[in-house]
Amino acid sequence: MLPNRPPETLTGLRLATGDDVAAGYTAVFSSFKHVFGGTNLLRGNLALLKLNQKNGFDCPSCAWPDPDGHRSPVAEYCESGAKAVADEVVTKHTASPVLFQRYSVAELAEKSEYWLGQQGRLTHPMVLREGATHYEKLSWDEAFQLVGKHLNALASPNEAVFYTSGRTSNEAAFLYQLFIRAYGTNNLPDCSNMCHESTTEALTETLGIGKASIKLDDFEKAEVIVILGQNPGTNAPRMMTALEAGKRNGAKIIAINPLLETGLLAFRNPQGLHDLVTPGGTKLADVYLQLRINGDMQLLKALLKLLLEAEAQRPGEVIDQEFISRKTTGFEALKADLERYSLIDLAEQCGVPLSQLREAADLLARHRRIIICWAMGLTQHKNAVQSIREIVNLLLVKGSIGLPGAGACPVRGHSNVQGDRTMGIYEKPKPAFLDKLAEVFGFEPPRNHGYTTVEAVEALHNGRAKVFVAMGGNFVSAVSDTDFTSEALRRAELTVQISTKLNRSHLVTGKTALILPCLGRSDEDPQVSGPQFVTMENTTGVVHQSHGTFKPVSETLLSEPAIVAGLAKATLGATTPVNWDELVGNYDRIRDLIEKTLKGFENFNQRVREPGGFYLPNSPRQGNFDTPDGKAKFTLNAPTVWKLKPGEFLLMSIRSHDQFNTTIYGLNDRYRGIYNERRVLMMNEADIAAVGLQKYQVVNLHSHYNAKVRTARRFIIVPYRIPAGCLAAYFPETNPLIPIDQYADQSFTPISKSIVVTVEGLEEVAEVSR
């Protein structure tokens, strides 16, 4: 049997003092090293100068918004973006058919994620036929016909699953969902299911829309910025510039995280001469609350109680009673519910001293222009939806919605994950959207809900689904319960991966497997009517252009819209609802159909050609709420009180600094001082001694759910500043520990940030260099 996971070989841990300031010269040097290490000076410079510019291409990394007005002509990107560009644009290798002739699938499966990514861009369609050991080249027509044959042989369209990664353009996503619904299913799980689905559920219920209610320039107007469950220095480095702008205008920052992260402590702006010459850069966090893992709701409840306490002492000065009365429902029930909780108990449960909680509450009490930001540190717990609803409670109490410098700011990961959902990539489409599809395209779309990501894996595993198609991403490494997910994919009749680069999902396959190589964000896209551009939607709801700049590495690559069209024609035949060739020949025609189907896209082709694009409608931003009664909702939420048994810990998965989601750019985590190794377990020094272990000892991690033991092997213990009872390790290495049926209530998001584990010490102690 081929391995389901990356190799568990240790690569040689080196420790150093972590950086005490994020970005600065080190980030510039790292960016240039990644970019110019793979290409010549001219090509590398052109890539960086075009990145995130109004006439350039959108960063294939995170979804952080670009400035509406002036953009730096020299460096409108971050270190993470430079790594993503190096990975896509300037790599000097190609994963051509020669690579697949040289290595069998079994041999490739023994390689690390990092090694696979370093092989470069895919160049040709490849097929792994049933019983074969090697992928082999085939033509595009053969590939499309093979997929169409399998799809049309299914007993029901619901036996097929169509996954989407968040890098897919709006145009490709719209065509993809149109093809799939014309085929007859809503099985459209996407990467949102694994990251911010909890946000979507919570915000839609309470505010009427599952998106951020702020604009980028609101950070400059904010008085207080709260950051929960997020490490912006690594995961969204361009956010640091916005935080710095807020600080310079007098904003106070409250950072809430189980780890002391450099990216929350201080920042040196690579674009600013003042920062580069000032020792220590700009201090960010004014108050740093180092809570226990998943203590967020208790912390938020404590802050709410303290605000109500302050309001009782200074009536009319702390709580926005007028906003609450006019714009919300449920406040009196919230007040009554908060009476049930003790401040002392809440402080003990979240692990933050009451004196520090009072310091944070005092900042909130004295200001109204408050932005609260969060990411997957909040969304990936069983009680994630309730925790995010508690964030909304705090914002509503202060009237901090629909106000300049205030609002909710979920920080999205993939660069167009929000746009894909807007385009209809969703397993639970709203009836109004389906009605519009029927009106515009003349067919009756399916009405039953499709599979979430978790449900899709379960369906593949038990045989209810037989074909799996992925538009981007690295599904097997991204999803929880790695062994179960791998078994599920291996049971499929056909797996199809539409990709730019090689990853583990190409090696954990169905009986037959296809790799369909596509153009990247930075590639030129010539079609019949001329060069094409695509569009994206960022975290703040701005839809904007992205123009590819570089000649593709292979003439055989197709664009994502062209691949979708090829699949649709081969599958739907005469029943097709549109002229796919016409749409692929001119992407303006796709945007015309988007305009006819979706609200907010009026005059789409005209408005998106304006420099910087346009904002989609967002009612909470104007202080209005698209809920059934037109009011924002306070909610009652019950915190989880963890009662761990002796020897049990709460483990959260994290990213390294050389990583974006499942893409591994290198083996270093510079800000945390960890180098050349990913299999590390960050552990409180007192906990190490208490359970009879020692630093640098090699250990196995075990989770115990539903009477089954799951194991992730060979991690090196590294003493770290983390609360007692808490552990941290990188994903996807920790994914095997999470059962497929352990997910957030309502959202089905895996519990990647609160895994109950035990630690088994092995006899081996790793050699560590410094």
Residue 606: CB atoms within 10 Å: 11
CATH code for the structural domain at 643-765: 2.40.40.20
pLDDT, position 50: 60
Q: What is the pLDDT of residue 24?
A: 47
Half-sphere exposure of 709 (CA within 13 A, CB side): 8
Give all strands (DSSP E) within 429-525, no chain letters: 467-471, 494-499, 512-517
Burial class of residue 736, CB neighbours in 10 A (0-12, 13-18, 19+): buried
* Tens-digit pLDDT profile for residues 185-206: 999 999 989 888 999 999 999 9
Contact indicator for 526, 566 with CB cutoff of 8 Å: no
pLDDT tens per residue across span 98-114? 999 999 999 999 999 98
Give the pLDDT of residue 62.
73
> Could you report the per-residue pLDDT of 283-342, keeping only the tens digit for each?
888 999 999 999 999 999 999 999 999 999 999 999 999 999 999 999 999 999 999 999
Strand, coil or helix: what is 540? coil
- Whether residue 315 is preceded by a cis peptide bond, meaning omega within 30 degrees of 0, is no
Which range among 10-14, 276-280, 555-559 shows the weakest confidence by mean pLDDT? 276-280
**Domain spans of the chain, in order of start:** 22-87, 92-189+433-609, 197-410, 643-765
Which residue, chain included where needed, has tokens 């020897």? 647
What's the confidence (pLDDT) of residue 376?
Answer: 93
Helices (H), strands (E): how many in the chain? 31, 33
The answer, as to whether pTM is greater than 0.85, is yes
In the chain, what is the greatest distance between 2 CA atoms, to the nearest angstrom?
Answer: 75
pLDDT band for 665, please (50, 70, 90 cuts).
confident
Helix (H/G/I), strand (E/B), else coil: 535: strand
Decide if 69 contacts 243 (C-beta within 8 A): no
Tell me the CA distances in angstroms from 489 to 155, 456, 468, 479, 493, one per residue in order: 19, 10, 8, 12, 9
| Comparison of pLDDT for 77 and 214, the residue scoring more | 214
β-strand pairing of 659-660 with 663-664: antiparallel
- For the chain, what percent of residues have pLDDT higher than 70? 89
pLDDT confidence of 664, banded at 50, 70, 90? confident
| Averaged pLDDT for residues 29-42 | 51
Mean of the pLDDT values across residues 628-655?
96
The CATH T-level fold of domain 197-410 is Dimethylsulfoxide Reductase; domain 2 (3.40.228)
Looking at domain 92-189+433-609, its CATH architecture is 3-Layer(aba) Sandwich (3.40)
For residues 326 and 662, give the distance between their C-alpha atoms in angstroms, rounded to a whole number.
45
pLDDT at position 730 is 96
Mean pLDDT score across all residues of the chain: 91
* CA contacts within 13 A on the Cβ side of 549: 23
CB 706 within 8 Å of CB 739: yes
Percent over 90 (pLDDT), the chain? 77
Q: What average pLDDT does the segment 453-480 reach? A: 96
Tell me the average pLDDT across 555-567: 97
